[in-house]
Amino acid sequence: MVFVNVGFKLLFLLSYSGSKPLSKVWYFIAFRHSWPMKKKLKVIASFATVSVVFVGFIVLFIRFMPATQEVTAFGERFASVQIGDTEAKVISLLGQPDAKEVEFRLGQKQGFENVYARAKASDSDFYLIWFKGIDVVFTIGINKNNGVRVRAYGGT
């Protein structure tokens, strides 16, 4: 019994992050001597259960958002495109691009410097670009022989 009380007090001290509402809850649970130990454990167990369920709902919501599903489905088709495939084959697999440009681009340059260097080194004449989800950009470089020379995707 004494070890559990010490544990609650230690948990309070470790969890104190300057957040007044959280610290008040832990303080109330840890130092409230009038509560029996069984009730303290039930409160902790209930708080933990509610927290796990809440996080689970958030994860499921993000996983099954339409934008996330769209990016995943398109990404699977995008992965099947091979270097040397024709532009017609790419369009049949992925659909019409959202843009056709002479410069390679992704969602951002920072963190994708090696991909930009690879695209610059390729002999691509133009790039087919698809914008999916919130900020994911899929790009395929096509050369004058109508073949895929580079493919990449990225976001912020």
Query: For residues 2 and 38, which has the higher predicted lDDT (pLDDT)?
Result: 38
- Residue 137's pLDDT band (boundaries 50, 70, 90)? confident
Domain 66-154 in this protein, CATH class:
alpha beta
* Ranges in the chain annotated CATH 3.30.1450.10: 66-154
Taking only the tens place, the pLDDT of each residue in 96-119 is 999 898 888 887 878 888 888 888
In the beta sheet, which residues pair with residue 148? 142
CA neighbor of 156 nearest in space, from 139, 136, 141: 136
What is the pLDDT at residue 108? 81
Give Rg (Cα) of the chain: 27
The percent of residues in the chain predicted with pLDDT above 90, rounded, is: 4
Residues 146 and 98: their CA atoms lie apart, in Å, by 19
Q: What is the mean pLDDT of the chain?
A: 76
